[in-house]
Structure 1
């Protein structure tokens, strides 16, 4: 990577798989991790946006490749991880960011919508963990960061199914930290508050005034950015966080304080 694009070299020499890298927090985090020196495999369901981000980052000198797949499909997730190992020779870190949102009271959510959000946000996260841990346990090291939400730490009206899945991601994270710490693998989660992404805009449209009310109740009085979430992920993925595992780190401007 060129000097202009580099910051600390925090992740120099590390290979990181970013799942859900085509937009929002995933795309912004890819830019952050590349600046910190990581070799990146970018994964999502659709190739075109991945190619655009990869072209942008390789233009700065970063080592980046892309792979497509659906995280709710076991064979696809295995292929994402295997492609990363084949391309870069290993897997040092993973950022599991892919998810979908949903709005509506619990009694208004259809069974099909409930099943789908569980399939993506919970089963998908579990499948990613399972395949990433397969590689990391064999290597005896690695760091995984899952993306939950402040909705996984507390309740609010209008997004019950989504919040249930984000509580579940925290449960998966804490259990994985216990299961895999003895073999040298760390597992943590981020809990972003309102973050300026396409998903946040969907929430604005679905729950008028809801996002603005949360921002008004945030001590820093602003929504976060995908880059700010990416910086937190970079630290957890780095050796500076070598004794941090099982943590759920809010990146929410103080909303959960």
Structure 2
């Protein structure tokens, strides 16, 4: 594949479903060439092809476990081969597990940090070289309202997402002199598969979740995608090191 002459190039990790897919779709609709990342190469290629057909932009599917630095190095090389640079990086790949303190399996704790926190660091490490080649480059990391506020039965997950927020704040200070902006979004109760994993299954749980949200509804993946698109775009050119809640008012 020859390098693309498109105006803006984005890499979205964990982009084959949920919030990541919504972000990739929004950026493709906005005219970005998009590198669609997933753990399964076939699925990533399928989603990339769908976005290319629907939005008429260059795309590429890339794959690898973000917890493995060798895999991250490999898929960022694939992005370089396809596009030669990055203008927008969205660090979305993540996993979830929940249980009371003392009940979460050791391997589940390790995996939460390996993917959500260490994986985000690996992605910044390797994709940073491509961002330095970009035009008005920006990165957005996916944190969580749980990482900002904490929640019962979510200790390891919350801690891993708090680490993501810390990564964003620190990277913003380090990369600012190079002209690279770094922010994070912290979604609240978003109507995706993950919401069920957070223990809000069933009509009663769903109603309680909505009641706890001042705007009176669950968020959508598109709500989060809109915030990400703003943060990587020119209207946010003087915004860096921020954690933007996309939570319907749950956080104070």
TM norm structure 1? 0.90
Q: Tell me by how many angstroms 1:139 deviates.
A: 5.4
What is the match of residue 112 of structure 2?
A: 117
Other structure's SS at 2:146 match: helix
How has the CA–CA distance of structure 1 residues 131 and 208 changed in structure 2, closer, same or farther, with 3 Å as cutoff? farther
Partner Cα distance (1:132, 1:57) in 2: 22
2:38 corresponds to which of 35, 44, 48:
44
How has the CA–CA distance of structure 1 residues 89 and 187 changed in structure 2, closer, same or farther, with 3 Å as cutoff? same
Other structure's SS at 1:103 match: coil
Post-superposition Cα deviations, 1:175-226, rounded to whole Å, max 9, x if no partner, equal 1011110111111000001111112122236899655433211111111111
Partner Cα distance (2:81, 2:174) in 1: 26
Q: Tell me by how many angstroms 1:56 deviates.
A: 2.1
Post-superposition Cα deviations, 1:26-66, rounded to whole Å, max 9, x if no partner, equal 01111111111111000010133323322321222122110
Partner Cα distance (2:192, 2:132) in 1: 33
The answer on 1:129 being equivalent to 2:124 is yes
Over the aligned positions, Cα root-mean-square deviation in angstroms equals: 1.9
Q: Which moved more, 1:30-39 or 1:211-220?
A: 211-220
Partner Cα distance (2:22, 2:196) in 1: 16
Contact 1:140 1:184 in 2 (8 A): no
What is the match of residue 26 of structure 2?
A: 32
What is the match of residue 164 of structure 1?
A: 159
What is the match of residue 218 of structure 1?
A: 213
How has the CA–CA distance of structure 1 residues 95 and 211 changed in structure 2, closer, same or farther, with 3 Å as cutoff? farther
1:56 corresponds to which of 18, 37, 50:
50
Post-superposition Cα deviations, 1:86-144, rounded to whole Å, max 9, x if no partner, equal 10121111000000011111221122111111111110000001111123236585211
Contact 2:143 2:184 in 1 (8 A): yes
The answer on 1:178 being equivalent to 2:173 is yes
Structure 1: where are the runs of 5+ without partners?
Answer: 1-11
Other structure's SS at 1:108 match: coil
Partner Cα distance (2:13, 2:37) in 1: 5
Count of residues in Structure 1 that have an aligned counterpart in Structure 2 = 246
Contact 1:158 1:207 in 2 (8 A): no
